[in-house]
Amino acid sequence: MTNNYYLDRNRNNMKKLNEMLTNLPAFCSIFFIGTQDTTTPLTRINYAIDLKTFFNYLTTYETEFLNKPIKDITLTDIDSITSQTIERYLAYLSYYDKENGVVLTNGERGKLRKLSSLRAFFKYFFNKDMLKSNVASKVKSPKLHEKPIIRLEPQETQELMYYCETLNGFSNHQKKYNEKFKIRDNAILSLFLTTGIRVSECVGLNVDDFNFSLNSFRVTRKGGNQVILYFGEETSKILQDYLKYRETLNIPKEEKSMFLSSQNKRMMVRTMEYLVKKYAKVATPLKNITPHKLRSTYGTNLYNQTKDIYIVAEVLGHKDVNTTKKHYAAISDDVRKSVAGMVKLKDN
Q: How many H helices and E strands in the chain?
A: 16, 5
CATH number among 3.90.79.10, 3.40.50.300, 1.10.150.130, 3.30.70.100, domain 4-138: 1.10.150.130
DSSP states along 195-263: H---HHHHHT-BGGGEETTTTEEEEE-TTS-EEEEE--HHHHHHHHHHHHHHTTS---TT--BSSB-TT
The pTM assigned to this predicted structure is 0.81
pLDDT by 10-residue block (mean), the chain, 348 residues: 75 94 96 93 95 96 95 96 97 84 88 97 97 96 82 94 95 93 97 95 96 95 86 96 95 92 94 96 94 92 85 86 69 60 63
Q: How far is CA 145 from CA 108, 109, 148, 252, in A?
A: 8, 9, 10, 49
Q: Pick the closest to residue 80 from 68, 63, 93 (CA basis).
A: 63
Distance CA 275, CA 261 (A): 11
Hey, do 4-138 and 154-338 end up sharing a CATH topology, with the first three levels equal?
Answer: no
Amino acid at 127: N
Residue 20 exposure: Cα atoms within 13 Å on the Cβ side: 21
Predicted local distance difference test score (pLDDT) of residue 217: 96
Predicted local distance difference test score (pLDDT) of residue 94: 93
CATH architecture of the domain with residue range 154-338: Orthogonal Bundle (1.10)
Predicted local distance difference test score (pLDDT) of residue 238: 97
Question: pLDDT tens digit string along 278-321?
Answer: 999 999 999 999 999 999 899 888 888 888 888 888 888 888 88
Predicted local distance difference test score (pLDDT) of residue 1: 45
Predicted local distance difference test score (pLDDT) of residue 341: 61
Domain boundaries, the chain: 4-138, 154-338
Predicted local distance difference test score (pLDDT) of residue 77: 97
